[in-house]
Each structure stands twice: as C-alpha cells, then as structure tokens.
C-alpha cells in the first residue's frame, strides 16, 4: 500500500445524536446511487425519538445489504436543516475537516472500486453486512488538503454541468409537453387567423367515445391505422459485453419512467448484426417487457436520440414503430406519454413474474387523430426542442465518463 494511504477509521468518528426531543420529522433514506432521499418506510406508530439525527457535513451509511446489492449506500448531507435516518444506520463525521475534506471522502465512496472492495469485506449474513471495523479498516489516499480542494473543485465543475444539462432538458421536455397539451388536449392550436381554435369559436362536435367535445372532423383511430410495430432481434447473450463499446443494445433499461430515452443503463454488444436492425435518430420505440415488476416503464416510448459515435441496435423486448407516414412520429410519442395510454397498457399486460405487452395490444389503442396538416405545423414547432433534447444523452454520457475517470484517478494521487 502506498505511503499516503490511510485508514478511513483514523479520520472519522461515529455520531449518535437521537431525535429525543422530536424536533425533526423529516425522515430520509439512502439510495444505491448514494444520495439521501425521502424514506418509503411505514412509520405509523413508530417511536421517532430513537431515530438518528444527521446534520450538514455528516455522513449516513447503511452497511446491512452490501453483499446483496454490491454497493455500500453512503451519503454526505449538504442540507442546511437536520433530518433523521433509521436507527439501524450509521452516522459519522470527519474528525478534522482541515485534514480530510468531507467532499473528498464522498468522492472516494463514489468509486466503483470502493464498492467492490466493500463487498469483499462483507460477512456471512444472507444479506452480506459490512462490519463497522472492516469499514474503518478500508483505506484511501489522503493528499495535502490543497490538493483535495483542487480535486473536489474539478469534480464539482463537471457534476454541476451535468446537473445544469439535466435541468435544461427537463425544461425543454416540459415545454414540448405544454405545447402538445395546448394543441391537442385543450384544442387551442392556432386557427387560420392565428387565434386559439376553441376559445375563438372553432367548430366542435361531441365525441361519444371520449365523452367530450373535439374539433370537427377529427377522427378516432387505432394506432394500427398509422402503421405496425416491429419486434427487435434476439441477439445472443454470450456476445453481450460489460465493457463500453460502439455497439449498444437498446433494451428495457433504456426507457425513462416518465417517457424518453435513458442513456445511463446501456448493454453493449461484441457480435455481428444486421443492418436492418440499426436504430436511427428519431425512430420511435416502445418497451414491451416490465423488468422492474412494478410497471414503471412497461409500454413507455422513446425517440432515439443523436448518439454520436455509437450504433444503436434494435434488441428483442423492444418494439419499433414502422409508420406509414413519419409525420406522425412526434405526435404518437406525446400521445403515448399520457396517463390514459399508460392505464391501457398496464390494464392489458400479461404475465405474473414478468409482465409483458405486445405489438398487437399496443396497436389496438385508440387515439384522437387531427388532420395531417395540423400535425405538420406541430412538428415544425416542437422539432427544435426535440433536437436539443436529442443531443443531451451523448453530452451527459461524455461528462459522466469524465467523472468516472476522475474518480478512478484518485487512487493514483500522490502527496
């Protein structure tokens, strides 16, 4: 071990402040991504006075399930107000923040190598707990505090950029959804004079199926009237790769809970592939398998983003919309982001252990279809927003890769 490596236990001390005065009611847990989050525990009738208080600059840690989860849930509080955590958690703090910065220690905890090392020290319990002594005996490089501050500053610059990008994308998505709602839910799209259609006296008629008035001559159609849904290719699992490569197998993990493409849970591939199973930018895809077992992303759709220097392959359990007219792609994406579509998918899903939907069931969903000319105008309005959203996953991936590189390099830092 290098000379600048030190025991974690030499720099931290346990904190055991209980919520005995019941001043704090904000109960948080720690997720596997190492952030404090609102607890989902049922606390009805629970004695909250025994819960542990966490203050700003202190750490919370759950050592009970490391062997099961292959990660040590540990987080640093940056919250101004104290909160409480389970009495089963450890709470600790840095003895002298002038020697070891809390933010630097949290960077060390964020390394995948740290989690692998923690897993190695777990005990024989079925859940694989990590003994406190073993945790304290783990080591990390402790360079001069000035070097620590430099490292933390560089790291935070990238993390803040990722956060700002995520905020921007959220605003763009909210704006696009607001335009869809105004045009196709409230029916306030611009009429021939540029005025809001419904409130300006546009002709409406009663739609029995929807139980409300809709613009005159709009039709109720099945998704199947717009095209088919194509299954992906069953790529061989023995050619999947743990190492990042230029070939990404688009799978159920690539769908966000609220709809859209998730570039943070990729599967990679090392084998051969057919050209007609390559997904292109703005292809509309749908998740047909519920791997989470709670329906979070079952039936969710996403538009393929602009991922530079990557080839995205159409994997099985993912459907691709083969539309007769691509003008409907964006509109169909927004339609399938609505609650009534989600309720339909979950209500018609089959399977017990793992639930599924199918191209046939998705194709049977009935939608309100405006005239094509209105869809074309809508596309012109939302296309710039979708283009900006499309390039973000690639940018975020590059920034995330940079943070991983920085975390890995901490191990080589000298005094």
Q: pLDDT tens digits for 295-309?
A: 689 999 999 988 878
Domain total for the chain?
Answer: 2
Q: Coil, strand, or helix at residue 390?
A: helix
Burial (CB < 10 A; 0-12, 13-18, 19+), residue 169, is: buried
Confidence of residue 323 (pLDDT cuts 50, 70, 90): very high
Q: How far apart are CA 75 and CA 95, in angstroms?
A: 17
Chain mean pLDDT for the chain: 91
Confidence of residue 391 (pLDDT cuts 50, 70, 90): confident
Q: Are residues 86 and 184 in the same domain?
A: no
Q: Are residues 172 and 105 in the same domain?
A: no
- Residue 186: per-residue pLDDT: 97
Q: Are residues 100 and 235 in the same domain?
A: no
Q: How far apart are CA 314 and CA 333, in angstroms?
A: 18
What are the pLDDT digits (tens) for 223-273? 999 999 999 999 988 888 877 888 999 999 899 888 889 887 788 998 888
Given a cut of 90, whether residue 293 has pLDDT beyond it is no
Q: Are residues 225 and 372 in the same domain?
A: yes
Q: Are residues 76 and 212 in the same domain?
A: no
Q: Are residues 319 and 372 in the same domain?
A: yes
DSSP annotation of 72 reads -
Confidence of residue 128 (pLDDT cuts 50, 70, 90): confident
Given a cut of 90, whether residue 126 has pLDDT beyond it is no
Q: How far apart are CA 179 and CA 196, in angstroms?
A: 12
Q: How far apart are CA 121 and CA 144, in angstroms?
A: 28
Q: Are residues 133 and 208 in the same domain?
A: no
- Residue 412: per-residue pLDDT: 77
Please name the residues in contact with 222: beta carbons below 8 A apart, sequence gap of 6 or more: 363, 364, 365, 366, 367
- Residue 212: per-residue pLDDT: 94
Compute φ and ψ for 392, nearest 5 degrees.
Answer: -65, -45
Q: Are residues 328 and 245 in the same domain?
A: yes
Given a cut of 90, whether residue 397 has pLDDT beyond it is no
Percentage above 70 pLDDT, the chain:
97
Given a cut of 80, whether residue 286 has pLDDT beyond it is yes
Q: How far apart are CA 303 and CA 97, in angstroms?
A: 46
Q: Are residues 115 and 170 in the same domain?
A: no
Question: What's the domain range around 215?
Answer: 166-400
Q: Are residues 170 and 127 in the same domain?
A: no
Q: Are residues 388 and 263 in the same domain?
A: yes
Poorest-confidence range of 158-167, 177-186, 334-343, 392-401?
392-401
Q: How far apart are CA 157 and CA 344, in angstroms?
A: 43
Given a cut of 90, whether residue 291 has pLDDT beyond it is no
Q: How far apart are CA 134 and CA 114, in angstroms?
A: 13
Interior angle at CA 322, CA 321 and CA 324, nearest 5: 125
Alpha helices by DSSP H, listed for 122-227, are: 132-137, 145-184
Given a cut of 50, whether residue 1 has pLDDT beyond it is no
Q: Are residues 63 and 199 in the same domain?
A: no
Q: How far apart are CA 235 and CA 54, in angstroms?
A: 48
Q: Taking residues 333-351, report their average pLDDT.
A: 94
Please name the residues in contact with 152: beta carbons below 8 A apart, sequence gap of 6 or more: 101, 103, 104, 107
Given a cut of 70, whether residue 182 has pLDDT beyond it is yes
Which pTM does this prediction carry? 0.78
Report the CATH number at residue 253.
3.90.220.20
């Amino acid at each position: 071990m290098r000379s600048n490596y030190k025991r974690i236990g030499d720099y931290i001390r346990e904190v055991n402040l209980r919520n005995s005065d019941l001043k704090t009611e904000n109960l948080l847990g720690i997720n596997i991504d190492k952030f404090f989050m609102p607890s989902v525990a049922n606390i009805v009738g629970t004695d909250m006075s025994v819960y542990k208080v966490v203050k700003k600059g202190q750490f919370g840690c759950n050592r009970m399930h490391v062997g099961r989860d292959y990660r040590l849930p540990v987080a640093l509080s940056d919250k101004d107000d104290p909160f409480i955590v389970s009495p089963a958690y450890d709470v600790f703090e840095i003895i002298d923040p002038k020697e070891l910065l809390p933010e630097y220690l949290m960077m060390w905890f964020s390394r995948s190598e740290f989690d692998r090392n923690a897993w190695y020290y777990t005990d024989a319990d079925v859940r694989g707990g990590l003994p406190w002594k073993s945790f304290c005996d783990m080591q990390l490089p402790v360079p001069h505090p000035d070097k620590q501050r430099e490292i933390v500053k560089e790291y935070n610059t990238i993390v803040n950029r990722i956060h700002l990008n995520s905020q921007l994308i959220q605003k763009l998505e909210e704006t696009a959804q607001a335009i869809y709602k105004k045009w196709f839910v409230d029916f306030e799209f611009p009429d021939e004079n540029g005025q809001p259609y419904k409130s300006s006296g546009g002709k409406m008629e009663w739609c029995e199926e929807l139980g409300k008035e809709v613009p005159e001559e709009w039709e109720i159609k099945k998704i199947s009237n717009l095209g088919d849904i194509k299954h992906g290719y069953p790529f061989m699992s023995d050619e999947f790769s743990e190492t990042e490569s230029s070939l990404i197998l688009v799978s159920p993990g690539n769908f966000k809970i609220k709809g859209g493409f998730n570039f943070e849970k990729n599967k990679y591939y090392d084998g051969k592939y057919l050209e007609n199973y390559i997904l292109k930018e703005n292809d509309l895809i749908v998740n047909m398998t519920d791997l989470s077992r709670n329906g979070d992303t079952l039936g969710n759709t996403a538009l393929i983003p602009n991922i530079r220097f990557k080839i995205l392959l159409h994997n099985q359990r993912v459907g691709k919309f083969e539309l007769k007219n691509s003008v409907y792609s964006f509109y169909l994406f927004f339609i399938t982001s609505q609650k009534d579509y989600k309720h339909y998918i979950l209500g018609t899903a089959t399977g017990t252990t793992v639930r599924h939907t199918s191209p046939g069931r998705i194709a049977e969903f009935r939608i309100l279809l405006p005239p094509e000319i209105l869809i074309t105008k809508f596309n012109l309005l939302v296309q710039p927003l979708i283009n900006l959203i499309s390039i973000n996953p690639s940018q975020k991936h590059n920034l995330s890769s940079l943070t991983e590189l920085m975390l890995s390099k901490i191990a080589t830092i000298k005094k």
